Structure 1
Amino acid sequence: MTANHENELAHSSIWEIQETDETAATVLVKDLNVEPIVARLLVQRGFTTPESAEQFLTPDLEDLTLPTLLPDFEKAKAALLNAREKQEKIYIHGDYDVDGVTSAAILYRFLDRTGFIVEGHVPHREAEGYGIHIDTVRRANASGAKLILTCDCGTSSHSQLEAAYELGMKVVITDHHESPTTLPPAEAIVNPKRRDFTGPGGELSGAGIAFLFCLGLCEELGIKPETYFRNFLDLAVMGTVADVMPLHLNNRIIARHGLPALQATQKKGLRALLRVSNLDDFSVKLTTRHIGFQIGPRINAVGRIDDADVAFRLLTTNDAKEGTELAEFLDRKNQERRTLQDALVEEATAKIIANGLDKSSAIVVAGENWQKGIVGIVAGKVTEKFRRPAFVLGIHGDQATGSARSIPAFNLFDAIEANRGLIIKGGGHAAAAGVTVAVANLEAFQNAINEFAQNLLQPEDFLPRIRIDQPITLPETSLALAQSIAQLEPFGEANPEPQFLMQGVHLATNNPTRNPIHTRVLLKSGPEDRMAMAFGLGEQFAALPLQTKIDTVVNIEEDQFNGKKRLKMVVRDFRLAE
C-alpha cells in the first residue's frame, strides 16, 4: 500500500460520532426493558422519556392525526359529498412520480367504490411537465367534469385553476408542497404546508394527505376504519417512502403498518409488481429498502421515459391479466431506464473529466438531447462520485433543462436565487432542484454557479460525512442484538439505520464478489470473527494487506436465507486504526 493511498484512506470521509444522554438512556433501560444500545439509539433520535420512546416503538393507527384537523378538510368534504349527491364527475389529477401516482390511486379507488363518479389522470412528463397543464384543464371540462380534485400538486397552479373556474368547474386541492404567499382559487386547499396553517400533518407525503383525507370521509360513508386501513395502507406507504418523507409522527405509523399491508396486498396490479420485483416471497419481510430500490424505481421508470398513466392503471386495475401485463411493461421500462442512465452517467463523467470540472467547486454539465426524465438520477450519481453540487442539463433546441443534486453544505435553492437573472426558470430545495437555462447563457451560468460555490465551500465540505451512533465491539454483535435494533424499524429519512463504530479489528480475509467493487471481508477481534459485506469498497479493501488493523463503521441487521435467520453485518466505511 502506497503512502498516498494510506493518506487517502485516512482522510476520505468525516466521521461524526453522536452524543448520548446516558442518564436518559438508563431510565429507558429500566422502564421499557430494552437493551442499552437500543435505549441510546432512542435517546439520540430525540425520544428521551419512556412515554415518547414507547410511542415510537409501538406506533398505533389510532394515533394518526384526525383528518378534521387538516386545513379546509370540512370544506373539501362538503364539496366532494355535494358532487356525489348530484352525481357530478370528479376529475382526479395526480403527478408522474410514485407519490403522485399512489395518491391518485388512493383517491380513485376509494371514491370509485363509494358512489362517486370519477376519472383519474397523471401527467405525461414530456408533454405536460410538472403540475397541472392548461390543456388538461380543458380536457377535464370536455369530459364533463364539474370538480377537479388534485393530489400531490395544485398549490402553485394559479392560472390553470383560474381557467378551471372560468370554464365552470370547481377545484379541491390536496397537496404537501410548499405554499406560495398567494393561494390559487379553490373550494378547499388541504395542504398542511399552507403559510396560514400551524396545525399537524406537515410531514406527510401527497399519498399521506390523500390517505388521511379519505379516512376522514369513512364515517360519513359508513366504512369502518379497519376496513379502510386494510385496503389503502399499501398505497400510502409506497408514496410515503418513495418520496423520502421523514419517518416520524404520521409517517412512522403509516410505514410500520403499511409495509405488512403491502406485502399482503390483494390488489392485482400490486401483486404482479411485487412478483416482477422479486418480492413475492412471504418468508422475506418487506422493508423500506425494497420500496426505495425495487418497487419505486419501476413505477418511476414509466414516468421518466414513457407515460406514468401506465403505473396509474397498474395500481387501479382489478384484472389479474392486465395487472401482469402492466407490471411486466414497467419492469421492461425500468431495465431500459437503467441502460439509458448508465450510458448517460458514462457520457457525463467523461465530459466532466475532459473539461476539468471534477476540480471545480460545483459542476454544471450539459449534453445534446439528454433525456429530461433521466438527468435527475444522473445528477445524483455525479454528486455521489465527485462529491460536488452537480447540475446535469439536456440541451433541446436553444434551451438546456435539467436537474441538480447537492452536498449538505451547498443549498441549491440559494444558488439558483442568487443567479435568477441567468436562467429562464428554476426552483427546488436545498438538496434537489431543477432549472432551465438558455443555451446562450449556459457558460455564464456555469461560471456563476462555480463562483458561488467557491465563495461558500471549504475543503472539508467535499468529504462525505458518516454518522456514527455509538461504538460497539465485535464480540457484542449478534443475531439477538440485530433483532433488538429492529425494534426501531422501519428505517428511512429522519430515522436512519443505526451505524456503529467498531475499532481495532483485523482484516482476516478479503473475497471480492463477481463485481469486484463489492467484497466480503472477515473481520477478527481476538478469538472471534464476523463476516461482513462491503458494498462499493472492493478497491479500497484490495489495497490492504491481510491482518491490517482497521476501524470500521458497520450496520448490524437480521438476514433471512433459506428460511433461516442470521446476523448480517455491512461495512459502510473504514480507515486505518491508529
Structure 2
Amino acid sequence: MKSLYNWQFRDPDTAVAKNLSNKLEMPEPAARALANRGVSSVDEALAFMNPSADDMHSAALFHDMTPAVERVLRALDNHERILIFGDYDVDGITSTALLVSFLESLGGHVRYYIPERDIEGYGISSDVVRKTGTAGYGLVITVDTGVTAFKEIQLARELGVDVIVTDHHEPPEQLPDAVAVINPKRADSQYPFRELAGVGVAFKLAAAVGEARGVPMETMLERYGEFVALGTVADMVPLVDENRFFANYGLAKMPKSRHLGIYSLLEVAGIGERTEMETDHISFGLAPRINAAGRVWRPRAGVELLLAKSPERARLLARKLDDQNKRRMVQENRVFESAAAAIKSSDDDGGGSFIVMFDPSWQIGIMGVVASKLMETRRRPVALATLSKNPLDMKSPHPELGRVCQATMRSVPGFDVFQALSACSDLLITFGGHALAAGMKIYEKNIPAFKAEMNRMAAQSAEGRAAASDLRIDAELSLNSANLELIRQCRRLKPFGVGNPEPVFASIGVAVLMCRAVGADNSHLQIRVGKGNSVQDCIGFRFCNNWSPDQLMGENIDIAYVLKEDAFGGRPRPKLHLKDIRK
C-alpha cells in the first residue's frame, strides 16, 4: 500500500520542547510543534502566539514611499481624478476596495478598474491607459500588479498621467519609470519583510498617507484590517512576521464585521457571528465566492460587494456571488476530470517531471484552481494552457507560430516556476508571477518546445522532487493523546497557513475497525481506527482516489493527520483529518 508522501519526523531540541511544555503548561506534542516552528524560548513563544501591532514595520522603510505619499497628497489637494487599477483575484479586489474607500474618506475623486480576465488578461493595458488619459485622470495607482508594465507606464507619462505602482510580485532587474514603485521584493528594498500580499502593500501606502493626514494607525486597522486579512490569507503568502498579525487581527473582527459586504458574504457562506474564524473560513468560504466574480462573472462585482453601502445591495451581490461560485465549481470539476483523464492516458503519467496541457475549450478563469488540484494530486508542477480570448490576440496570430495562448502554472516547493519561465523567456510572449504560481502568454506552436524545456529543468531539480513528496510530522502520538486538550493547545499556534501549517501528528500501527466511502461522489474515506483501549474517528478527503475501503478494512496501518474538533450532535470530540496512510 503506497503512501502519498515520504514521512519526515521532525526532531526539535528535546530540552527546548520540554521547557516550553513546562513553562507554557501545554502538552509536549504541542510544545514540539512550537519548537519545530523555530521558537526556542518562552518569550518567543508568547510573541508567536500573541501577534500584535508591534509586529508591523514602518511604511516609511519602503523605497519610494515618500514620493508616492507626496503625489497622492497633491492629487487630493488639487482635486485630481484618481484611478485605482487592480487585479481580478481576491488580493487585487481587496487592495482596490481598500484604496478606493480610504481615498474617498479623504475627499478624493476616485474610480477603479478591474480587467476582464478572459478578454483583457492580467495587468494594465495600453487601451486602458489611453482611456484614462482621455477621461482626464491625473494619477493611476496600481494594486497587486504593475511592476512589469513598462510600455503602459511610459505611455501614461506621454499622456500626462502619473503612475504609482504598488505590487508584491517578483520585479525584473529594471523597474518601470513610474513616480514610485512600492514593492518589498525590489532588489534595493530596505523593507525588512518581503512576503506581504498585494493588499498588505496597498495598506502600507494608505497608512503612510493616513499618517500624513493625521489618521491614527488604530483607525486604519479598524477600518481596513479585515480587507488586509482577507487578501493576505487568500493569496497564500507566508503567515509569518507582520502577515501573521494582519491575519489574526482581521479574523478576530470578521464574525461581527461592520463591512456590509463581508458580513453578507459570511451569511451566504453559513458562517455565523459566534464562529471562531480560522483561515480555512477564508480559503474555502469567502475567497472562492469573491474569486468567482473574476473567474466566471464580472470581476467588478467583488469590489462592488466590499464597497456596498446598503444591506440590501450587499446581500444581493453576496447571493449572486454564491450562485456564480456554484457555477464555477461545476465547470472546474468538468475541466479537472477531463485533464486528469488525459494525464492518466498520456506519457505524463509515466514520469514526466512537469505536466503541460493545452485545450482550446478551457476557460482561463477556472484553470488556476484546476492546476492547483492537479499539482496536489500529481505532486508535480503543472501548466494549463488555452486560447487567449483577448480581441487583439485573436486578431494577430503569428504567421509561423500560430495563435496566442494563455497559461496558468502551479508549482511544488523547491521548483521556482518564475525562475524557470525567465530561463525560457525566448519561447514566451509575456510572463509574470511567483515561485509557486505564475501566468504567461505563448504562441501555440511553441508549446511543445516549452513543455520539453520545463520538463528538462524540473527533472534536474532534485530538490523540487524531494520537497514535493515530503510530509513533515511534528510528533508521534498514541491515539489516547489525540484529545481535546491537545487540540485546544494547538489552536494557540494559529493562524495557520503557508509558513505556519497546522501541526501534523502520526499514530503508528493502528487497526482499521471500520472503513467506508462517503460524500456525494463517494470520494472521501471515513475510517475508525483503534489501538489498545483507544478508538478514534478519521476522515480522508478525496482519499478514495488512492485507497479503497476494501484495501484498508481489517489492516494495521500508520496514519498522519491534523487534529480537529467535531462538535456534531453537541458533544465535542476529536476527529482526525488524514494527510496520509501507509502500511
The Cα shift of 1:12 comes to 4.1
Decide whether aligned partners of structure 1 residues 45 and 434 sit closer, same or farther in structure 2, where only a CA change above 3 A counts. Answer: same
Q: Which residue of structure 1 aligns with residue 540 of structure 2?
A: 534
Q: Secondary structure at the match of 2:117?
A: coil
Q: Is 2:71 aligned against 1:66? A: no
The Cα shift of 1:575 comes to 1.3
Normalising by the residue count of structure 2, what TM-score does the alignment of the two structures yield? 0.91
Pairing 1:311-322 to 2, within 5 Å after superposition: 311-322=302-313
Instruction: Give me the whole-angstrom Cα distance separating, in 1, the residues matched to 2:195 and 2:459.
Output: 33
Q: Which residue of structure 1 aligns with residue 287 of structure 2?
A: 296
Instruction: Give me the whole-angstrom Cα distance separating, in 2, the residues matched to 1:40 and 1:191.
Output: 36
Q: Is 2:503 aligned against 1:498? A: yes
Match among 484, 505, 512 for residue 479 of structure 1: 484
Q: Check whether the contact 1:505–1:549 (CA below 8 A) recurs between aligned residues.
A: yes
Q: Is 2:256 aligned against 1:250? A: no
Counterpart amino acid of residue 517 in structure 1: S
Q: Which residue of structure 2 aligns with residue 566 of structure 1?
A: 573
Q: Is 2:116 aligned against 1:109? A: no
The Cα shift of 1:234 comes to 0.9
Counterpart amino acid of residue 52 in structure 1: E
Q: Which residue of structure 1 aligns with residue 324 of structure 2?
A: 333
Match among 73, 79, 86 for residue 87 of structure 1: 79
Q: Which residue of structure 2 aligns with residue 517 of structure 1?
A: 523
* Percent identity for Structure 1 against Structure 2: 33
Pairing 1:2-17 to 2, within 5 Å after superposition: 9-17=1-9
Listed one character per residue, the Cα deviations across residues 153-185 of structure 1 (whole Å, up to 9, x for unaligned) are: 222212211222222222222221222222222
Instruction: Give me the whole-angstrom Cα distance separating, in 1, the residues matched to 2:463 and 2:136.
Output: 58
Pairing 1:281-292 to 2, within 5 Å after superposition: 281-292=272-283
Decide whether aligned partners of structure 1 residues 10 and 128 sit closer, same or farther in structure 2, where only a CA change above 3 A counts. Answer: closer
Instruction: Give me the whole-angstrom Cα distance separating, in 1, the residues matched to 2:19 and 2:202.
Output: 39
Decide whether aligned partners of structure 1 residues 234 and 353 sit closer, same or farther in structure 2, where only a CA change above 3 A counts. Answer: same
Q: Is 2:357 aligned against 1:351? A: no
Q: Which residue of structure 2 aligns with residue 98 of structure 1?
A: 90
Decide whether aligned partners of structure 1 residues 32 and 458 sit closer, same or farther in structure 2, where only a CA change above 3 A counts. Answer: closer
Listed one character per residue, the Cα deviations across residues 544-564 of structure 1 (whole Å, up to 9, x for unaligned) are: 454422111011133444665
Instruction: Give me the whole-angstrom Cα distance separating, in 2, the residues matched to 1:571 and 1:11.
Output: 12
- How much is the aligned-residue C-alpha RMSD, in angstroms? 2.4
Pairing 1:193-272 to 2, within 5 Å after superposition: 193-272=185-264
The Cα shift of 1:305 comes to 2.4
Q: Check whether the contact 1:360–1:450 (CA below 8 A) recurs between aligned residues.
A: no
Counterpart amino acid of residue 374 in structure 1: I
Instruction: Give me the whole-angstrom Cα distance separating, in 2, the residues matched to 1:50 and 1:177.
Output: 35
Decide whether aligned partners of structure 1 residues 162 and 417 sit closer, same or farther in structure 2, where only a CA change above 3 A counts. Answer: closer
Q: 51-60 or 214-223: which moved more?
A: 214-223
Match among 275, 278, 299 for residue 308 of structure 1: 299
Instruction: Give me the whole-angstrom Cα distance separating, in 2, the residues matched to 1:390 and 1:561.
Output: 38
Match among 532, 543, 551 for residue 550 of structure 2: 543
The Cα shift of 1:509 comes to 1.7
Listed one character per residue, the Cα deviations across residues 9-54 of structure 1 (whole Å, up to 9, x for unaligned) are: 2454211111211122233234444332222212111111222221
Instruction: Give me the whole-angstrom Cα distance separating, in 2, the residues matched to 1:526 and 1:509.
Output: 16
Q: 337-346 or 223-232: which moved more?
A: 223-232
Instruction: Give me the whole-angstrom Cα distance separating, in 1, the residues matched to 2:294 and 2:314.
Output: 17
The Cα shift of 1:459 comes to 12
Counterpart amino acid of residue 377 in structure 1: V
Counterpart amino acid of residue 323 in structure 1: A
Q: Secondary structure at the match of 1:16?
A: strand
The Cα shift of 1:241 comes to 0.4
The Cα shift of 1:456 comes to 4.9
Match among 547, 556, 559 for residue 563 of structure 2: 556
Decide whether aligned partners of structure 1 residues 449 and 84 sit closer, same or farther in structure 2, where only a CA change above 3 A counts. Answer: closer
Decide whether aligned partners of structure 1 residues 245 and 11 sit closer, same or farther in structure 2, where only a CA change above 3 A counts. Answer: closer
Decide whether aligned partners of structure 1 residues 93 and 564 sit closer, same or farther in structure 2, where only a CA change above 3 A counts. Answer: farther
Q: Is 2:37 aligned against 1:45? A: yes
Q: Secondary structure at the match of 1:154?
A: coil
Instruction: Give me the whole-angstrom Cα distance separating, in 1, the residues matched to 2:254 and 2:470.
Output: 33
Q: 513-522 or 493-502: which moved more?
A: 513-522
Counterpart amino acid of residue 532 in structure 2: G
Q: Is 2:435 aligned against 1:443? A: no
Q: Is 2:370 aligned against 1:378? A: yes
Normalising by the residue count of structure 1, what TM-score does the alignment of the two structures yield? 0.92
Decide whether aligned partners of structure 1 residues 504 and 188 sit closer, same or farther in structure 2, where only a CA change above 3 A counts. Answer: same
Counterpart amino acid of residue 368 in structure 1: P
Instruction: Give me the whole-angstrom Cα distance separating, in 1, the residues matched to 2:517 and 2:283.
Output: 26
